[in-house]
Chains A and B, each alone.
Chain A
Amino acid sequence: MASLGRKMLIDGEVENSNEGDVHYDFDLFVIGAGSGGVRAARFSAQSGAKVGICELPFHPISSEVVGGVGGTCVIRGCVPKKILVYGAAFGPELEDARNYGWELNERIDFNWKKLLHKKTEEIVRLNGIYKRLLSNAGVKLFEGEGRVVGPNEVEVTQLDGTKIIYSAKHILIATGSRAQRPAISGQELAITSDEALSLEELPKRAVILGGGYIAVEFASIWRGMGATVDLCFRKELPLRGFDDEMRAVVARNLEGRGIHMHPQTTLTELVKTEEGIKVRTDHGEELIADVVLFATGRAPNTKRLNLEAVGVELDKIGAIKVDEYSRTNIPSIWAIGDVTNRVNLTPVALMEGTCVAKTVFGGQPTKPDYVHIPCAVFCIPPLSVVGLTEEQAIEQANGELLVFTSSFNPMKNTISGRQEKTIMKLVVEAETDKVLGASMCGPDAPEIMQGIAIALKCGATKAQFDSTVGIHPSAAEEFVTMRSVTRRVDAAGKPRTNL
């Protein structure tokens, strides 16, 4: 890979034509210390590279000038979100406890500020751990805003405003993404997920715009904590891109847990009033809310990186274009994670970061493998999937498909009385018996799906699932005891039944 490095120097504008003698401050300079950046920096350092990394100062709510080591996942994403989901899940759990013989007060008080404080403590702790990970790996951390000023030069604006330029053989952009706001009149009254994770007060009435995973997760969080929640989304069902049947299940469960669903609805105007924010929908409906959350997508953080000036190509939405090895069109500049808008998940950024370290410093050119990436949506109850949706399978598979589904009342509900079914699904290619997709919506789905994901990744057949003995009594055992096919779908296209 050293040769790659040298080649860039020729292509680039570094004056020194004597390649061997070029001296850089760093072998790798990383802009952005989130999941991907930290992983790539650490692994590169472990391969012997001299690595620098810069990151904005810590703040729970991100902006152009604040961020923090740990990035979205640790500070404004996966981790704080899951903490709030844990907190919220206790609400319905306590209700379920009564039929198990527990005598509880009619109303159990929930103290949002306490949870918020605990959450902040935890992310500050993790922020510290991440910093230590970097220093233990020998990575030099700079606090400040990084900007690319040449194919091998990064300018870091320090907190006091001074600017320092570092040269590096390779530059890695791992600046992630940020929540976007739609252009709606009164949009400044709304918040994004950043603020939602750090609200001073728990809303009593929340309106959420969006149908993606962030929207349904916050709907579940606030509902679990006792708020009235209205969820407005453009499509007929939330979670576009997921298996249609599972989307319907999620919608039904959210509704069953008391969330007001507004399909095919968007917001047209927000107005501040005495009683709260007045929200108008395109159906002419009016809702009053304490908090309006825009969960309408995220955009890559590329604006202030000066990338266009150095010639790094971006796509229409501002994501950095990269090849299969995460390299941009400028050979010395690489990019990973959400800023490239490939598959925006922490473990994928980690995979990409690892691959870059291996490619550039491990002497082992490695492409990230995007086949069968499992993922989870932490709504309550959660959804988790791996592989193809039934719709994708119909499109991609050649022959007949066998769809196995199971819908059951989880054992816990038999006594708690909760009316909510767990749904599982396997999509199998008839000819090869290969399991192409698995999904589940119900308690513990994300934990259950991880092992299933290995099986799918390795091309497991339905027969292999069937030959595995169940763990009894568990929900997961249903995945290995699905004996009769629910429906068959023809090669050419359409399901024979429209369940």
Chain B
Amino acid sequence: MRTSSLGVGSKDRRREEKRGMATSLSTPKLGTTLTFQTLSLCKKFPNFPSYQFRTLDVGVFLSSGRWSHSFLRCRPISTTTPRAESTNGAGSEPDRNYDFDLFTIGAGSGGVRASRFAANFGASVAVCELPFSTVSSDITGGVGGTCVLRGCVPKKLLVYASKYSHEFEESCSFGWNYETEPKHDWSTLIANKNAELQRLNGIYKNILKNAGVQLIEGRGKVVDPHTVNVNGKLYSAKNILISVGGRPFIPDIPGSEFAIDSDAALDLPSKPTKIAIVGGGYIAVEFAGIFNGLSSEVHVFIRQKKVLRGFDEEIRDFVGEQMALRGIEFHSEESPQAVEKSSDGTFSLKTNKGTVDGFSHIMFATGRKPNTRNLGLEDVGVKLTKNGAIEVDEYSRSSVPSIWAVGDATDRVNLTPVALMEGGALAKTLFANEPTRPDYRAIPSAVFSQPPIGQVGLTEEQAIKEYGDVDIFTANFRPLKATLSGLPDRVFMKLIVCAKTDIVLGLHMCGDDAPEIVQGFAVAVKSGLAKSDFDATVGIHPTTAEELVTMRTPTRKVRRSVPEGKTDSEIKAAAGV
């Protein structure tokens, strides 16, 4: 394959780049702070003065970027990107002058990452984004996108806030006394949260600026394969990247206009006293935990028997039980039919099973849809799926060769780090002469329910389907903190091991710190390590995580020798083998 020879070249080049970075890193400025690195900015920021960081960020990438740029000049992309060769309109018109090498529509996680990295590789890049608002619409958005403004970040901040009530409860058994019951002030939290979002929004803008990416505020629309219209102004670009993300979707039932979505739920003017959450996905369970922790009465309505379809069945059972123990009321197998507003201003939710009333808020967490409407995509021939997602190939290229798409707009794996990966891969493909496919194997993920979930690899159900013979190791225990607090908190862990190869196929955990714990294990699972490798690792004592390296006996062995089409109950019957 042609890529193999390319691979060697690019490896050498990477090495060069690293050297370049190191050189720029040993400039005197550095002496004043401890550490530097390119950040994934959705999360946390160095405390050191930001101008230093910026200087550095630019410095690092200019040195490597300049180099890549000249490299690109001698080996035009169109002839070295295998997939681009015959089809890339850009490549076939080497003489045409574009305003930009890349024009990105949407400055969320994926768009910012692709734009920055492209610019760092020497491309001239512009990105357009709607004006800032905490609630998204056709005319509002904001630099930072869902993750920073209406997703991961504000969600996690509210999770932090809401977790405290559980901690207050725990702390009593650890000797702490509250003369008066701690009370929560919603407006303080929301004000502090919004101040933080503003700050992050500003940081994101700076990041773009420092990378040399031109930010254009406004709604971008594709006019032709190389032209984007933003508020009436036309910009030409060799490549166009669509990274417009997704938006919450509320089904059209009577009274659905009274319902709020997750955007609104993250920025309510007052705290719900009693809230109905419709949906059983991760957004539903996360908000259930948030409002429950802030002492709203929470009812969750799920169509299925259990929450979190697609997750490991045992995790689904476990998290549902734990959430119920913390006071959340689940209404399973109930589909919403109508929302009604009563004379006292409260809402009632009518389902196939009956009506529950007295809600101050009704929230729909019933899925998200790609933001692809009114972007002019269909007109220029970009194929969309039924759901409205942009169809892309493995390199994130749409059916129009000069138009690419990453992140939730493509509805592949809708997670910030995946959008980052796709954006990073795209920049490499287009501007670093290194065609790169995002790697979707063993992507870990977390649900910030209370208790939270972390997982990587296959569920038991998937593993059985794919491998047949698997060994299942589980642990279900009361953590040390809970034995002291007396609260009914438990931890559940599960390893799914291929019986034939001993390779760990999946790892699932629900309990305190699960998202933090699973990250390191994800490196192990991604690297294809075996159960014996887990066993050979000494535990860190006393931690919860050590349990994952001290699981000695399988809870059950599932064998294909059982006739095809075996059922759940048969699998369970194998327990204790």
Contact = CB atoms under 8 A, between A and B. Distances in A.
Interface string B35-55: 111111011111110000000
Given A469-B418, A473-B152, A454 B45 contact: no
A463 to B, nearest CB: 10
Interface stretch (A24-32, A174-182, A272-280, A373-381): A373-381
Contact of B25 (A376, A412, A474, A485): A485
A133 interface: no
Given A109-B177, A423-B34, A467-B526, A82 B185 contact: no
B379 interface: no
Given A374-B540, A450-B549, A453-B520, A473 B153 contact: yes
A455 B523 contact: yes
B216 interface: no
B571 interface: no
A375 B545 CA distance: 12
A487 interface: yes
Nearest to B156: A473
B445 interface: yes
Contacts of A484: 18, 21, 25, 36-38, 60
A118 B174 contact: yes
A404 interface: yes
A483 B193 CA distance: 29
Interface stretch (A60-68, A306-314, A414-422): A414-422
Given A100-B164, A499-B30, A471 B417 contact: yes
A485 B18 contact: yes
Nearest to A444: B516
Interface in A415-474: 415, 419, 421-423, 444, 446-455, 457-458, 460, 464-465, 467-474
* Most A-side CB within 10 Å, residue of B35, B533, B549: B35
A345 B546 CA distance: 13
B546 A101 contact: no
Contacts of A460: 523-524, 527
Nearest to A84: B174
A114 B494 CA distance: 35
Interface string A345-389: 111101100000000000000000100111110000000100000
Interface string A466-499: 0111111111111111111111100000001101
A118 to B, nearest CB: 5
Interface in B518-577: 518-524, 526-527, 529, 533-534, 536-546, 548-549
A73 B546 CA distance: 15
B541 A448 contact: no
Interface range for B: 35 or more
Given A108-B178, A469-B522, A499-B34, A409 B515 contact: no
B444 A468 contact: yes
B25 A408 contact: no
Interface string B370-394: 0000000000000000000000000
Contact of A450 (B185, B483, B515, B517): B517
Contacts of B40: 470, 472, 477-478, 481
A281 interface: no
B552 to A, nearest CB: 10
Interface stretch (A87-95, A150-158, A235-243, A291-299): A87-95
B189 A101 contact: yes
Contact of A473 (B31, B43, B184, B534): B43
A346 B543 CA distance: 12
A318 interface: no
Interface residues of A, number: 100
A421 to B, nearest CB: 6
B385 to A, nearest CB: 23
Interface string B164-207: 10011011011111111011111111001100100100000000
Contacts of B22: 485, 487-488
A193 to B, nearest CB: 16
A351 B538 contact: yes
B416 A472 contact: yes
Contacts of B186: 101
Nearest to B148: A473
A472 B41 CA distance: 11
B157 interface: yes
B518 A471 contact: yes
B541 A369 contact: no
A1 interface: no
Nearest to B189: A101
A480 B540 contact: no
12 contacts: A369-B536, A407-B35, A409-B47, A414-B196, A451-B520, A451-B545, A452-B523, A455-B520, A473-B42, A476-B517, A497-B25, A497-B26
Interface of B: 18, 21-22, 25-26, 30-31, 33-40, 42-48, 60, 147, 152-153, 156-157, 160-161, 164, 167-168, 170-171, 173-180, 182-189, 192-193, 196, 199, 415-418, 420-421, 439, 442-446, 454, 480-481, 483-484, 513, 515-524, 526-527, 529, 533-534, 536-546, 548-549
Interface of A: 73, 78-79, 82-83, 86-87, 90, 93-94, 97, 99-105, 108-115, 118-119, 122, 125, 245, 345-348, 350-351, 369, 372-376, 384, 404-412, 414-415, 419, 421-423, 444, 446-455, 457-458, 460, 464-465, 467-488, 496-497, 499
